[in-house]
Amino acid sequence: MKTVISSLESTVESLVRLAGAVFKLSVGLGSICVVIYALRVNHFPQGVSLGDGLLFLLAAACFGAVYALFVGCLLSLGICLSFIVRPLLRGIFWLWGKITRADVRPGYELAGFNWFALPFALFAVLLVLDLGREDVTLYWGLPLLSVGLYLFYSAARDAGVRFRHGERLLASAIAMPEKDVFRRSGEVNKYKNVQLMGIAVVALLPLFLSGAFGYLLEGAMRMAQVRIEAPAIYVKAPYATLLPEALASRHPRVPEGYTAYIGTTVLFKGFGNMTVVAFPDANGTRQLAIPNEQIIVERQSGG
């Protein structure tokens, strides 16, 4: 009984440490991405208060959550495609072995199909279909990326199993030839490095190669209420005179001293003392930074 309780406590502690590490990684990565978003919209907030700092952490956590879900769904899609990938790779290795007349085998075992991944894989398919409407290259780019994530995940998973086996073997008090071989070869450290590298690649590769980074970033900013699509805004003079009259709304209830506008996008709101608004104009799209006390942003139910 004590052994079971000790094992359970060890498992819980490991899960808590893992959750803490994942949270720190997501917030850290999200913080970088919030800064990147600020640079994308050409506005870096000024006059940031303590409350704004908390909102910054919220936005960072939102991106971390969105990105973690995105990576998890793509990886799950790759796992579900394993029934195609595994025979295909075996055939490629077999053919290459015939050509080179050598025994060619993959260095690490590929992970098998897991039913737990199926719901996330179905969500990944919906993501691909939705993002593909914005960029048709994502229709084939994201499935290929999911296969790449699956390969790196498989290597990290198998290396992790071998690393834990090697650690147990080296910690054993029983002398055996395999233990000496492990100690001299240094394979335990090699497996540990492969595991860490595989995890890092799975975590970071979609950030650079998915082609969907901008859409994920905007989605996370919408979730954190930093970016608001198609709101109704109420602007005081003199800033009201800088917006096109064509966007002026005949809203029956407009606060005194304000002018109502629709058809705009709030690019940046919540950090600092300025709200950044983008709107169409004759020459394309213009962008205007308005002091917070000069603007009211109303989120529309349909936006």
Question: Rounded to two decimals, what is the model's pTM?
Answer: 0.74
Mean pLDDT of the chain: 82
What pLDDT does 50 receive?
61
What pLDDT does 185 receive?
66
CA 123, 124, 127: angle at the middle one, nearest 5? Answer: 90
Query: Does position 2 have pLDDT exceeding 60, yes or no?
Result: no
CA 296 to chain centre: 31
Q: How far apart are CA 244 and CA 246, in angstroms?
A: 5
Query: Does position 54 have pLDDT exceeding 80, yes or no?
Result: no
pLDDT average, residue stretch 186-204: 85
**Per-residue pLDDT tens for 119-177?**
999 999 998 998 888 888 889 999 999 999 999 999 999 988 888 877 777 667 666 66
274 against 12, higher pLDDT: 274
